[in-house]
Amino acid sequence: MNDFKLVIRNLLGSRSRFALTLVGITLGITSLVVMMSLGTGLRAQIDKQAADLGANLVVTPKGWCAYEQVKVLSGSQLPDAIPAEELTAIESVEGISVLPYLTVGSAVDNEPVPVTGIRVAETAETKRWAVASGEAPAEDSRGILAGSAIADSFDLAPGDHLTLRGTEFVVTGVLEATGTGDDGVLFIPLAVAQEVYETDGRISFAAVQVEDITQVELYAQRIADAANVAVVSDRQLLASVLSVVNTVSTTLRIIAAVAVLTAAFGIINTMLMATFERRREIGIMKSIGSSNARIFRTFMAEAAAYGVIGGVVGLVVGSVASRLITPYIAQNEFTAFVGGARVQAVPPLGDMALILGGAVVVATLAGVYPAMRAARLTPVEAISYE
Amino acid sequence: MSSPGVMTLRDVHKTYNGRGVPVEALRGVDLEIGAGSFTCLIGPSGHGKSTLLHLLGGLDRPTAGSVTVLGEQVGRMTDVELARFRATRVGFVFQFFNLLKGLTVAENVELAMMYAGTPVRQQKTRVHDLLEAVGLAEKRRARANELSGGQMQRVAIARALANNPDVLLLDEPTGNLDSASEAEVMAILDDLHAQGRTIVMVTHSSEIAARAERIVEVRDGRIAS
Ligand SMILES: Nc1ncnc2c1ncn2[C@@H]1O[C@H](COP(=O)(O)OP(=O)(O)OP(=O)(O)O)[C@@H](O)[C@H]1O
Ligand SMILES: [Mg+2]
């Protein structure tokens, strides 16, 4: 017999108690993992999205808030709000190249799908798109270049016909997966989009590349002078989007913390029950020579073991769960990012270690009070009653 | 320090301060128990027999007076010293609930050796001899809660002997057993006595008490005879 074996025996002594406590801890850790990986996935995806925007500056209508700026990155539908003459004015600024976007919506098989009007050739080049099958549509044709994910989900292949806004389109090409929001979008030529959606030449926003990257601020000023629009740098955009995301992931973390606290109280409860149920056993252990300190250590080790086992199981279950859950949560503007981040939905190794360490610390702390109660019992009290 | 007996009690008082009124369980006990003797404590229920035995075994400290066992003052020891005392100097057997139910027979006995600091390998060899001596060697892998009452008490005795103590204290060890099991346990105790161990046992059975060398009656928290 050794201390380790004794702890294992005590844990397994009451299997249902062991199992129930473990389920509680596992649930807590699982939700922590899911929440954290969503948060991490969200952020990683936004970084990638911003990089793939291929722009140094983003031109938006005046007065957009962070929520609308998020939509620039996620590719969802935006109000069409920069008039044609402003776009012309922007394009007249020296030293920049402009990629206008018109984000609109449509439905395929009664499901809403994002549709974006672009200058096909220029955008494809800037974003370094690769066409997986077929080819990009000509600028004035009613052709569709489908993102890989949306092509998958609607089973689209070159030659297929789709009706957008009552107008017949042909899928001319399907893109290779990019891992960004672009995967979920149907791209059509900008001019055609403006005509079919009757936007009167308006666009939603424009991505701008500058010739001299060191002069970004200067170009921004020039654009703002030339046209009645708001200009943000990609970095500002990223910052404001991240601030929104941070609130979201802080909320996620608070929820997870509550789950973990609940699990901790589960441990306290279990351990207190164990102290009570095992009064007699504690008395026997003391009567055959266990010191108070040793009883304390035995109970603490049991609590810590709950943390270790629950932590490991929770990490595994949580990682699997967050992979399974992510697609279902990826429905609104913020979490939409995660949709593209299929690969990302597991917390990084450092976070995992942190979670495991945290689980052990919380479980051990939860064991302190019950273990003290157990240690304080005198052998006579423990044995002579009931 | 040489004391005339292995166990000496001088004007021992024990008061329990539980909830409600304090209970004076012992009110001035003077007692001397010689080395190698076999003593039975008898007396009416609730008059302090178990309390007295607990003090001898270092399970509790006296409220006043001195309890000296094997030259050590039970009342003056720290928790750690008391734990060590219980592990190595005395062996204790209760009437009920002696064993840890989740452990096997062998593990129950080994646990006592673990607390005394015996290395695992030595535990294994010794546990075999101990169980052999109480006739339960073949049950060593059985769970404690799969045993009969008599078998449990024999395991408890084996455990009490695990660290080879000079003194064996038993609180109504046969109170819960049928006569066959009682005879088995008593035969083991007679053997141990013959080997020179000091035995103090609480019993309600005059038949069993008659086998002891000495009968001490506890009444109203004092020694009556
Ligand atoms: N832990 C305790 N707390 C409070 N009172 C106690 C405690 N243990 C015993 N007592 C009280 O002390 C008195 C003596 O109890 P003790 O157990 O020593 O009697 P006993 O002679 O062993 O009785 P029995 O033959 O029924 O076992 C009783 O009145 C009992 O209620
Ligand atoms: Mg009693």
Alpha-carbon gap: B112 to the closest alpha carbon of chain A (Å): 6
Q: What is the pLDDT of residues B149-187, one digit of tens each?
A: 899 999 999 999 999 999 999 999 998 888 998 998 999
Place of tokens 């046969």: B174
Show the 3-state SS of A157-200.
CCCCEEEECCEEEEEEEEECCCCCHHHHCEEEEHHHHHHHCCCC
Q: What is the pLDDT of residues A110-149, one digit of tens each?
A: 788 889 999 999 999 888 899 999 999 999 999 999 999 8
Section A66-71 average pLDDT:
65
Would you call B115 and A288 a contact, using CB atoms and an 8 Å cutoff? yes
Enumerate residues lining ligand 1, CB below 6 A. Answer: A 380-381, 384; B 16, 18, 23, 25, 43, 45-51
Helix (H, G, I), strand (E, B) or coil at B72: strand
- What are A199's two structure tokens? 């936007």
Q: How far is the CA of A384 from the centre of ligand 2 (A)?
A: 8
Using CA positions, which residue lies closest to atom 20 of ligand 1? B46
Q: What is the pLDDT of residues A299-345, one digit of tens each?
A: 899 889 988 998 899 888 888 887 777 666 554 444 444 444 444 45
- CA B78, B79, B80 angle in degrees (round to 5)? 90
- What are B66's two structure tokens? 């001195």
B87 CB-side CA count, 13 A: 22
- CA A253, A257, A260 angle in degrees (round to 5)? 140
Q: Which of B100, B127, B168 to mutate to probe the A interface, most A CBs <10 Å?
A: B100
Say whether pTM exceeds 0.90: no
Would you call B115 and A292 a contact, using CB atoms and an 8 Å cutoff? no
Alpha-carbon gap: A268 to the closest alpha carbon of chain B (Å): 22
The pLDDT of residue B3 is 41
